[in-house]
Structure 1
Amino acid sequence: MKDVYLFSGFLGSGKTTLLKHIIQQVKDQGLVPAVFMNELGEMNFDSDEIVDGVPQKELLDGCICCTGSEKSEAQIQTLLAEEEFDVLLIETTGAAHPVEALDAVFSPLFAERLNFKGIVTVADSKRWLDRSKLSPQIRSLYLEQIRHADLILANKMDLLSEEEQAKVTYEIQSLNSSAQIIQTVQAKVPMAALEKIAPSVKGEVQKAPVSKLNLNAQVLHFDAPVKRDVFEQWLRALPESVFRIKGYVPLEGDKYPHAFQYAYGMAQWLPEYMKMRPQIVVIGENLEEVKLP
């Protein structure tokens, strides 16, 4: 399995700088890094900065989340099929919610080949102090990126006084008490800090190994076809802590499993015309009791 790290953070926080630091450290260990970058514009400004020779895919003018998820899956799948690498580094756009980004990473097509280590969020410390000036929607996203992190880099500490540094660290820790916080300048952090993010082990259900204390993922396998009404009844009974489900559901009477997606209480079924592995990936919080009907 290949270790995967997802870099999150608001626009201009220092994610690409972090990416370049980690690429070099992975190479110094004698390992081969690969990169998947998500950029909002049509030009790959940030990806031009990545070291030559590093396997790389990118999603331009879209978001790794929501409608861009399928394109992201295709790019990651191409990396797995065509390139030899040891560590996959994913940089999300500054407009991506980490929960949404995980939707693309945990594709049922390759989830079991990836060892998702965790979410590293780069927080702009100066922006934190000025967060009240952000619009409510942007401020909410900014806080969400920090809230769902496994490791937080309180970046740009050199721009703050000692009193401000202490204030930022305390307030961010209060927002996410589960994540380790490291004060950084130019997003410099040792790779060892990322490697210490350990996967959580819960329950007996086979799952994708996710380290997030709040967010977890499970890969659930179907032993036999199910009735659609039974499956949809199961969906309605799921706790609100289930954010995403996607995969291939085998229905009674149909030759091939149906492609299936679920988000925010809404389900989508799409017919498939080839044999797909009958399994789904569930992403959310407190998934220990989530089992197939």
Structure 2
Amino acid sequence: MSIPVFILTGFLGSGKTTLLLNLLVETERRGLKPGILMNELGREDVDGAIVQEKISLPVQKLLDGCICCTKRSEVEASLKQLASGEPDLIFMELTGVADPAELVAMFSPSNDELPPGLQLERVLTVVDASRFLEHNSRFSAERQLVRLLRSQVSEADIVLMNKSDLAPAGELDKVQKSLRKLNGKAALLPSVRSSMDVASLLHSVHPRPQAPDRRQPAAGKAMQPAGMLQASRAATLAPFRMASPAGRQGHSEGNPAAAIRSLTLPMPPDTMQLDTEAVEAFLSRHEACLLRAKGHLVSGGRMLLLQFSSGRAEWSPSNYPGKPYLVLIGTDLPEQRLAEEWRSLKRS
């Protein structure tokens, strides 16, 4: 019985993790056992912590680098480990600066290094429709980054035009035309918060027979929103930690996304809480070089998850048990100035 693999890709801040959570809601509803392989650009496990909190499962991922930069044999070994747990399907969420073409090629029938049962089912690309044209214009001088953006679209079977509600009037049509030029066959779906018909996407995936740890949802059980999902069984996870390229986070110079940097800022010394408005002002001042910011910070006496993309900040309560931090991802980050400003940020 084959194991279908779904690759989730898209640029920084497009909404891939939200899509993964939506997909996991459907796997829960259908009583499926998912294998989950996630990739994080920086050293902090932000997206994995989000997924772990939402589905109440320990999630281990590929950290401190990009999955397409690691040795092919390591990725293949990780997939073998996932397959050995006999999941019903596998979700691979790539970092925002990964080129999916390299992973698609890995699933070639001629590659005998992968278990024979693994089958690439769909490549789903999430595009920030409110920023797609801007990113193409912004990176026009960075040929490798433009190539990355185009590859993420051209390799897709389905393209979610996410944040379509935030796109300026008339721009969504331009985005759709641009996407269609890059990919003439993929389904182009306008989306808000990475919503799509996940039931139809997974309709052909069924529980493997004779799985003793699987519990089917009770008849008539209502499907829960992604933010409230509580998994009733263990997912198959890849216990794999990625090694960082020598001397730096992220990519080697030969990679298409070599211009992208990740900077982790811990909570300022002797600071118990931060003012959320001050944090947002800090991010806005550096929006020109920021592509994404995310992390867990303490404000108002509680731990909060911060997600910053498309020039907008979203705060939500979190049960994250670790030390507070903020991850900044962007181009030409003035690291020393950012660190100095961060240390002097207004407390709440």
Matched, 1:115 2:119: yes
* Equivalent residue in structure 2 for 1:64, among 64, 67, 76: 67
Conservation of the 8 A alpha-carbon contact between 2:130 and 2:168 = no
Matching residue's letter, 2:113: L
Kindly provide the amino acid, as one letter, of the partner of residue 67 in structure 1: T
Length-normalised TM-score, structure 1: 0.61
Tell me which moved more, 172-181 or 45-54: 45-54
1:132 aligns with 2:137: yes
Unaligned runs of 5+ in 1: 198-293
Aligned pairs for 1:50-129 (under 5 A) are 50=51, 51-52=54-55, 56-81=59-84, 83-104=85-106, 108-129=112-133
Q: Which residue of 2 aligns with 1:210?
A: none
CA distance 1:52–1:192, shift in 2 (3 Å):
closer
Aligned length: 197
* Percent identity (aligned): 35
CA gap 1:4/1:187 in 2 versus in 1, 3 angstroms: same
Report the counterpart of residue 337 of structure 2 in structure 1. Answer: none
Q: Structure 2 CA distance, aligned partners of 1:61 and 1:101?
A: 18
Q: What SS does structure 2 have at the residue aligned with 1:58? A: coil
1:161 aligned onto 2:168: yes
C-alpha distance in 1, partners of 2:27/2:44? 27
Secondary structure in 2 matching 1:189:
coil
The answer to whether the 8 A contact 2:83-2:118 is kept is no
Other-structure match for 1:170: 177
Correspondence for 2:39: 38
How many angstroms does 1:174 deviate by? Answer: 2.2
Q: TM-score w.r.t. structure 2 length? A: 0.52
Conservation of the 8 A alpha-carbon contact between 2:49 and 2:59: no
Distance of 1:176 and 1:196 partners within structure 2: 25
**CA distance, structure 2, for counterparts of residue 91 and residue 6 of structure 1:** 6
Matched position secondary structure for 1:59 = coil
Alignment of 1:1-293 (within 5 A): 1-50=2-51, 51-52=54-55, 56-81=59-84, 83-104=85-106, 108-130=112-134, 131-134=136-139, 135-195=142-202
> Given that residues 48 and 60 in structure 2 are in contact (C-alpha distance below 8 angstroms), is that contact kept between their aligned partners in structure 1?
no
Deviation at 1:56, TM superposition (A): 4.5
Structure-2 change in CA distance of 1:157 and 1:37 (3 Å): same
